[in-house]
Every structure is written in structure tokens, then in C-alpha cells.
């Protein structure tokens, strides 16, 4: 559907013998290692969502300023202005959540819930922003010759990969419910 610049394939290990020295971490510690690695990846997915959303926003903004309908640039219509305003709000909020998770990670704090929040919000935002960018470009938005339809297909992956957003919501809820300070 998208992300064709990144090749994705199944990896199968069949009858693969390893020595004890090949073990990563301690015995039984694999889940913690993969959980930490996924949490870090979620900050990256959040950051990629911000980048993708920003590009889609700029394409939509530029088109809205140039496209003339009924004798006016479509950017002068309030319906288009509201879409651009919402895109801008979602982008700013996504950027802050991603930054907050990254700062927590750099500071050695437990950042897993912050990473889940950043990934979920920013990818949902990128989906909305890219879909609205297609809407602002109208029929051209649906054509392969313009880039926004590709951005929309790519945004979908960010809601799925590195743990779906449904799973992120479960993780966020678990973090909230196990906290003792509220």
C-alpha cells in the first residue's frame, strides 16, 4: 500500500542452532529488551508522522493559495481555512508529544507511556492531516501525479506498525491504572 522505499519481508529461522554466547541479555529477559526497543521505535514513528504530516500540510497550504474557484483562491473559503487550522493544531500538539517522549528517554526516565501517547496521537493526526490534504487538492489529490495520495497511504502504516494504536491505548490505560499518584 505504501512505504515502498523500505523493503519489508517475512524472516523465518528454521533449525537454527545458536551457542549460549549468542544470547542477548539474561535468560528470560527477552521480553523487556523487545519492549524497550519497541518503545524507542514508537518515538521514531511519532517523529515520522510529524514529518509526513508537515509535508502534507505544506502541499495543501500551497495548493489552497494557488487554486482559484468562483473567482477566489480556495484558501479564502472558511471551510478550507478550518481544515488548515486543524492541521496546524494537530501538528503542533504531535510535535510537543514526540519531543516530551524523547526528552524523557534522553533523561533516563520511564518513557514507555509517553512514547505510546506520542505515537498514537501523531499517527492519528498524520492520518487526518493527509486525508484532509487530499480533500483540499480535490480531484488532483486523488491522482498519482500529485504526492498527497501517497502521503495518505503512508500515514496508514503509522497507525498499525510498532504496535497498533489500539494496543497503544491498552498500554496507556494500563500505565494510568497502575500509577499510584492519581
Task: State the residues that interact with ligand FAD by CB under 6 A.
Answer: 3, 8, 157, 160-161, 163-164, 166-167, 170
The smaller minimum CB distance to ligand FAD, of residues 73 and 167, is found at 167
Catalytic residue among 66, 109, 162, 166: 162
Please state the closest distance from residue 49 (CB atom) to ligand FAD, in A: 14
List, as own/partner pairs, every contact residues 63-70 make where C-beta atoms lie below 8 angstroms and the sequence separation is at least 24, other chains included. Answer: 63/136, 63/137, 63/140, 64/136, 67/138
The smaller minimum CB distance to ligand FAD, of residues 49 and 64, is found at 49
CA dist., res. 2 & res. 14, Å (int): 29
Burial of 151 per CB tally in 10 Å (0-12, 13-18, 19+) = buried
Measured CA to CA in angstroms, residue 47 lies from 59, 149, 181 at distances of: 19, 20, 29
Please state the closest distance from residue 10 (CB atom) to ligand FAD, in A: 10
The smaller minimum CB distance to ligand FAD, of residues 38 and 133, is found at 38
Please state the closest distance from residue 151 (CB atom) to ligand FAD, in A: 15
Q: Is 162 tagged catalytic?
A: yes
Catalytic residue IDs? 162
Amino acid at each position: 500500500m505504501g512505504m515502498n522505499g523500505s523493503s519489508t519481508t517475512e524472516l523465518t529461522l528454521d533449525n537454527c542452532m545458536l551457542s549460549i554466547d549468542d544470547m542477548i541479555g539474561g535468560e528470560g529477559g527477552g521480553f523487556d529488551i523487545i519492549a524497550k526497543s519497541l518503545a524507542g521505535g514508537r518515538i521514531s514513528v511519532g517523529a515520522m508522522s510529524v514529518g509526513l504530516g508537515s509535508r502534507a500540510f505544506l502541499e495543501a497550504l500551497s495548493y489552497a493559495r494557488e487554486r482559484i474557484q468562483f473567482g477566489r483562491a480556495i484558501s479564502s473559503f472558511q471551510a478550507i481555512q478550518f481544515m488548515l487550522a486543524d492541521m496546524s493544531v494537530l501538528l503542533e500538539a504531535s510535535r510537543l508529544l514526540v519531543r516530551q517522549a524523547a526528552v524523557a528517554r534522553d533523561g533516563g526516565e520511564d518513557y514507555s507511556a509517553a512514547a505510546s501517547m506520542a505515537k498514537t496521537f501523531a499517527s492519528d493526526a498524520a492520518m487526518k492531516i493527509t486525508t484532509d490534504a487530499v480533500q483540499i487538492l480535490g480531484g488532483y489529490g486523488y491522482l498519482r501525479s500529485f504526492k498527497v495520495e501517497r502521503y495518505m497511504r503512508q500515514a496508514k502504516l503509522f497507525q498499525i506498525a510498532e504496535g497498533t494504536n489500539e494496543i497503544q491505548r491498552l498500554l496507556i490505560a494500563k500505565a494510568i491504572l497502575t500509577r499510584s499518584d492519581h
